[in-house]
Amino acid sequence: MIPELGHFALILALVLSLVQAVVPLVGAQRNSMALMAVGRPAAQGQFFFILFSYACLTWAFITSDFSVELAATNSHSATPLMYKITGVWGNHEGSLLLWAMSLSLWTVAVTVFSRHLPEAFMARVLGVLGLVSAGFISFTLVTSNPFERLLPGAGEGRDLNPLLQDPGMIIHPPLLYMGYVGFSVAFAFAIAALLSGRLDAAWARWSRPWTTVAWVFLTAGIAVGSGWAYYELGWGGWWFWDPVENASFMPWLLGTALMHSLAVTEKRGAFRSWTVLLAIGAFSLSLLGTFLVRSGVITSVHAFATDPKRGLYILALLVIVIGASLLLYAMRANKLMGGGSFGLVSRETALLGNNVLLTVASASVLLGTLYPLFLDALNLGKISVGPPYFEAVFVPLMTPVVVLMMFGPFLRWKDDDLVAAVRKVAPAFIASVLIGVGVAFAVDHVTWRTVLGLSLAAWVVLASIQLLVGRLKERAGASASSRLRSITASWWGMWLAHLGIGVFIIGVTMVGSLDRHLDVKMKEGQRAELAGYTFVFRGAVEAQGANYDAARGQIELSRDGKVLDMLTPEKRLYWAQGMPMTEASLNIGPFRDVYVSLGEQLDDGAWIVSLYYKPFISWIWMGCLLMALGGIFAAADVRYRRMAARDAAVASGRRVAASA
């Protein structure tokens, strides 16, 4: 009964999404307040029904109702409660419902936090979001009904894929989806602006915090996913350039460009057509990612079980949503010319230069991801495009991005003198190269990649320090605390996020250059040495989890005779799927991780143990954390709230005038 209620609630949500899509748009066209006002309650009602529907599905998982096919294939009565709950999105149908739910959540957030928007603009935004929502809910209902019954019901479930039974997987999908789907808000703002012809600085200012928050979620989601791969896949890799990873990375790159482009548009009203195109592009890439994961056109470790009917449906959705918005763009873009002036050497130019680079990087990832498909379609043979290609292409493209990223903030808005600016940063730049070369020699790993990475990281750090010092010196005479307070949240956001890139590069470079790995056959009481650490095998014991049996190795980690930790890597066998899993054990430190995983047991009783030494690897995620934190600071800038209050005053003034 409860699954049927969930199904019914989802149908109601579809009806409401159609109402939300059609009525406010018509209202905005006819300038009818009554019709426009339907948008908000429709959006909120839709959210309620999706939430209810989602809760019903979760209920089937929690109560182990294996007459629901999805629960029977993705849960098990012995699965820990946490993984019953997260098992809901560990499959195609449930994750699609999560997709729809996060879209609905974003929509409700817009109705709550952007109350100051002009009524007609808000109506168009809600209409566009309603259309997208209707597309996805109908996709769920028509091709992927999560409430499908299994008659007769199964006695026991087949359990969630053990790889997904991990704390990282509890938060990764919701974060990632909030990021992916969050770009729909920037998209809806852009379409609403195109429809109304109101593409001005105010539009850019309204979009900025939404774009930034979506970007924060996406950054965090990608970082958590990569962290999960690092410790769960058993050999310490953290990024694989898999098509599905690329599917989340492409919108991230374009979203980053969009955030910066919005800054130029807000400030100068310039390059508006370009900014609109980025807003459409970032969301289009999110949709494309959804297509790649669920259609089966590309093989990936992460792809869901596929069905051509689903692929066709999403493709149709893609063509309608993206095709219509690009057509609208083509019709309106020539009105987007002009804007304020700025010099060839200016902050604006630096931002735009980086935008072009980020867009090129994103397009290159797209090219590499889809190229095998192109060749196959043209019958020119099958190839694979993997990490060696992406690394070869990506490093040269991102190097100028990082250089320019730290040079830009030294340039003044509007106009600056190139020679003076270069002179300002030259000492830090030269010092960075020297540090890069010096450290590479010091760690005895002189390759161009190490030198480049370390130099770039040093450049980011030194330039960040110089920026901060310069900023603090601005108000000579003021007290230190008032100087600090004079710095705005958005400036801190920029500073932190850029510094985060530097921290990230240090992690990537150090672990790429200096990691160590050793596979040993260990019997009880034997030791192995790696990178100055001693590992003593204290035997393996049997252990039992809620839904698996495990052999747990006990490995004493010590350095210089001092015991640091007892590492307990496991080899698990999950009952339901009979699937063996390696569960690595880590000793995490600020400057290095020690990573141990347990392999097979040999006939003579010894165990194969893989030992890894990963210097600076946690800096990769520290860097991502700083980037996300920077985004939060930027979005929280008091300026947006102040301006919002002003907009609201203006809007209500207009309303009063209109009603008078």
Partner 1 sequence: MKAKFLVPLLLFFGLAGFLAFGLTLNPREVPSPLIDKPAPKFSLARLDAPEQQFTLESMRGEVWLLNVWASWCVACRQEHPLLVRMARDKVVPVVGLNYKEVRGDGAINARGLSLEAETSMAIERARRWLSDHGDPYQVSVMDIDGRVGIDFGVYGVPETFLIDREGRIRYKHIGPITPDSLQNVLMPKIEELRRAG
Partner 2 sequence: MPVDRAHPATRRLLAALALGLAATVFVPVPGVAAEPEPEVAEAVAADPQLEADAMELSHKLRCLVCQNQSIAESNAPLAVDLRNQVREQLAAGKNKDDVVDYLVERYGDFVLYEPPFKASTLLLWLGPAVLLFGGAGWLAYRLRRRSVEVAADKGLSATDRARARALLDSAGAQETESPESRS
* Residues 403-432 interacting with partner 2 (rule: CB under 8 A): 409, 412-413
Determine, following the binding rule CB under 8 A, whether residue 323 of this chain makes contact with partner 1.
Answer: yes
Q: Among 133-141, 183-191, 257-265, 326-334, which window interacts with partner 1 (CB under 8 A)?
A: 326-334
The C-alpha atoms of residue 620 and residue 632 are separated, in whole angstroms, by 19
Determine, following the binding rule CB under 8 A, whether residue 527 of this chain makes contact with partner 2.
Answer: yes
Phi, psi of 442 (to 5 degrees): -60, -40
The C-alpha atoms of residue 558 and residue 537 are separated, in whole angstroms, by 11
The C-alpha atoms of residue 245 and residue 201 are separated, in whole angstroms, by 34
Phi, psi of 475 (to 5 degrees): -100, 75
The residue written with tokens 């479930």 in the block is: 157
Which residue of 307, 521, 551, 579 would you call a contact of partner 2, by CB under 8 A? 521
Which residue of 560, 656, 659, 660 would you call a contact of partner 2, by CB under 8 A? 560
* Closest listed residue to residue 325, CA positions, set 127, 187, 208, 205: 187
Which residue of 343, 512, 539, 545 would you call a contact of partner 2, by CB under 8 A? 343
**Cβ 525 to partner 1 shortest distance, Å:** 24
Quick one: 2 or 514, whose CB is closer to partner 2? 514
Which residue of 80, 167, 296, 343 would you call a contact of partner 1, by CB under 8 A? 296
- Alpha helix segments (H runs only) across 114-242: 119-143, 167-196, 201-232
Which residue of 77, 311, 589, 648 would you call a contact of partner 2, by CB under 8 A? 589
**Cβ 455 to partner 1 shortest distance, Å:** 36
Contacts to partner 2 from residues 232-261, by CB under 8 A:
233, 235, 237, 242-243
Determine, following the binding rule CB under 8 A, whether residue 651 of this chain makes contact with partner 2.
Answer: no
Which one of partner 2, partner 1, none is in contact with 603 (Cβ closer than 5 to 8 A by kind)?
partner 1
The C-alpha atoms of residue 2 and residue 7 are separated, in whole angstroms, by 9
The C-alpha atoms of residue 638 and residue 492 are separated, in whole angstroms, by 13
SS3 of residue 242 by DSSP? coil
Contacts to partner 1 from residues 591-630, by CB under 8 A:
603
Contacts to partner 1 from residues 276-295, by CB under 8 A:
277, 280, 284, 291, 295
The residue written with tokens 């797209």 in the block is: 366
> 592 - beta bridge partners?
615
How many residues in the shown chain lie near partner 2 by CB under 8 A? 102
Determine, following the binding rule CB under 8 A, whether residue 332 of this chain makes contact with partner 2.
Answer: no
Which residue of 435, 501, 503, 596 would you call a contact of partner 2, by CB under 8 A? 435
Contacts to partner 2 from residues 27-56, by CB under 8 A:
none
Bond before 388 cis per omega within 30 degrees: no
How far does the chain reach from its first CA to its final CA, in angstroms? Answer: 53
Which residue of 98, 126, 385, 497 would you call a contact of partner 2, by CB under 8 A? 385
The residue written with tokens 């196959």 in the block is: 376
Quick one: 417 or 600, whose CB is closer to partner 1? 600
The C-alpha atoms of residue 139 and residue 294 are separated, in whole angstroms, by 12
Q: What angle do CA 267, 268, 272 make, to 5 degrees?
A: 105
Q: List residues binding partner 1 (CB under 8 A).
A: 273, 277, 280, 284, 291, 295-299, 308, 311-312, 315, 318-319, 322-323, 326-327, 329-331, 333-334, 370, 372-374, 376-377, 381-382, 603
